[in-house]
């Protein structure tokens, strides 16, 4: 008899999981999987934004290199020499009839001003340079050339802003222009050098 009680006692201890324990475990597992799915969504969105920002940065740096390569120095007589005619908005190689390093009008980075804007597709190819984005434009690339207030004759500040084609707020000054997600804003200072 003692042996039978001991056997029955063991059976009670080894019954397994109750229905309530299974229900709680299933609820915890479901909640964890739902949270994990949200994390995947957030990660995908962050990767997409990072890719767009990287593309915008490459496009901004490309335009900055084009602008910095233009002549801004002194000739053999020591007179200022400035390229004010190279067209950097053309889809083909550099042409003439452009603005070069001419000072840009006010608010060039917040509006599409001909001579200081071009429109690019997903692959970074220049589509057009007019006052409005053409069909297929994904990025808007704007740049400004401004004399440095403390040395206006010999130093310029070059800024390039690349944005995705969408409505963007405007700012009255460059200081009010803040970089948004998916954008790139590159600034450089160029000083005249003797040739």
Query: What confidence score (pLDDT) does residue 29 get?
Result: 95
The closest of 69, 70, 47, 51 to 59, measured between CA atoms, is 51
Digitized pLDDT (tens) for each residue of the chain, 195 residues in all:
556 655 555 555 556 778 899 999 999 999 999 999 999 999 999 998 888 899 999 999 999 999 999 999 898 888 999 999 888 876 555 667 788 899 999 999 999 998 999 999 988 899 887 778 988 899 999 999 999 999 999 999 999 999 997 655 555 455 556 667 789 999 999 998 765
78: left (phi over 0), alpha (psi -120 to 50) or beta: left
pTM to 2 decimals? 0.74
Go through 7-20 and write b for each residue having 16 or more CB atoms within 10 A of its CB, e for each that does not.
eeeeeeeeeeeeee
pLDDT of 155 reads 95
pLDDT for position 47: 92
pLDDT of 98 reads 83
Q: What is the pLDDT of residue 172?
A: 46
Distances (CA, A) of 90 to 15, 56, 118, 119, 184: 80, 19, 8, 10, 21
Q: Name the β-bridge partners of 119.
A: 128, 140
CA dist 181 and 184 (Å) reads 8
What end-to-end distance do the CA atoms of the chain give, in Å?
112
- What is the model's pLDDT at position 12? 57
**Distance separating alpha carbons of residues 58 and 73, to the nearest angstrom:** 27
Model pLDDT, residue 41? 92
| Cα–Cα distance for residue pair 16/19, rounded to 1 Å | 10
pLDDT value of residue 145: 97
Q: Which two tokens stand for residue 82?
A: 């400035």
Q: What is the pLDDT of residue 15?
A: 65
Q: What is the per-residue pLDDT for 11? A: 54
Look at residue 193 in the predicted model and tell me its pLDDT: 76
CB atoms within 10 A of CB 115: 18
- The pLDDT assigned to 118 comes to 92
């Amino acid at each position: 008899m003692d042996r039978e009680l001991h056997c029955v006692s063991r059976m009670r201890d080894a019954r397994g999981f109750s229905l309530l324990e299974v229900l709680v475990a299933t609820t915890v597992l479901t909640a964890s999987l739902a949270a994990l799915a949200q994390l995947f969504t957030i990660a995908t969105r962050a990767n997409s934004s990072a890719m767009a920002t990287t593309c915008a940065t490459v496009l901004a740096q490309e335009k900055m290199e084009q602008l910095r390569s233009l002549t801004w120095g002194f000739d053999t007589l020591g007179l200022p020499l400035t390229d004010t005619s190279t067209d950097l908005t053309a889809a083909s190689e550099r042409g003439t009839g452009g603005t070069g390093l001419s000072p840009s009008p006010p608010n060039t980075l917040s509006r599409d001003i001909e001579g200081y804007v071009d429109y690019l597709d997903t692959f970074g190819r220049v589509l057009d340079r007019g006052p409005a984005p053409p069909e297929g434009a994904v990025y808007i690339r704007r740049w400004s050339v401004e004399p440095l207030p403390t040395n206006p004759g010999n130093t310029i500040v070059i800024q390039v802003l690349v944005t995705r084609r969408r409505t963007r707020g405007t700012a009255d000054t460059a200081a009010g222009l803040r970089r948004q997600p998916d954008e790139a804003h590159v600034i450089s200072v160029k000083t005249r050098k003797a040739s």
